[in-house]
Amino acid sequence: MTPERYQRIRDMLAKRQTDLTVCLENVHKPHNVSAVVRTCDAIGIHKVHAVWENQYRVRSGTAMGSQQWVNVDTHENVTDAIGALKAQNMQVLVTHLSDKAVDFRDIDYTKPTAILFGQEKYGVTDEAIAMCDQDIVIPMVGMVQSLNVSVAAALVLYEAQRQRQIAGMYDVQHLSEEECQRMLFEGGYPVLTKVCKRKGIPYPPIDEQGQIAADDSWWQQMQLSTRALASLNA
């Protein structure tokens, strides 16, 4: 890994927001899932949550375009997902038109926040709505009363980013150094990451130049044949 790439990854990690996330309930079209995750990466979200019932299940590896940089937690059902978010003391918002819904810009996103987005055709389930803390809406004055889920997510998330930038929340690192080291190694040394996972070898530390700071015993464990290395690069 070059020093330039190391610094770019470091700068990205320093701005990751660990207490801002989205939850996708049965959003199953790969291009929508990928677009939402890409937006999450762009505004500094570290982890997203997803619920995929059997009929909506997608292959996360092919749908998550920015999954290398955004962690994805999947849940068996929306009750478990929202429960996990509330256990982290997050306010859980849901994009849903109702009498109690408020303009999405009236929310304080500097609080720990999760935003729930529903399935493309049917939206969020009644079960999810009942568990959320606040309904939010994106005001529209045209004939259309809904937006594509990835567009809606982008609008809400960039408002969250705007508020957090004003509050200086991007100027303080939220990720632990342990998590930063993990992502530095996986992002800077993808081939060696595969070897570590295959052999069950712990990741080595990365120094301030982006180089692996490991002792001889670690390198000995990592020894591979030319054929094995070629298969990892394939």
Binding residues for S-adenosyl-L-methionine: 95, 138, 147
* DSSP, res 175: S
Question: Sheet harboring 71-75: ordered strands across?
Answer: 71-75, 47-51, 20-25, 113-117, 91-95, 134-137, 102-103
Distance CA 40, CA 14 (A): 15
91 bridge partner residues: 113
User: Which residues define the annotated binding site?
Assistant: 95, 138, 147
The answer to whether the CB of 31 falls within 8 A of the CB of 25 is no
Q: Which of 149, 119, 163, 219 is nearest to 19 (CA)?
A: 163
Distance CA 11, CA 112 (A): 22
- Residue 105 has phi, psi (to 5 degrees) of -80, -10
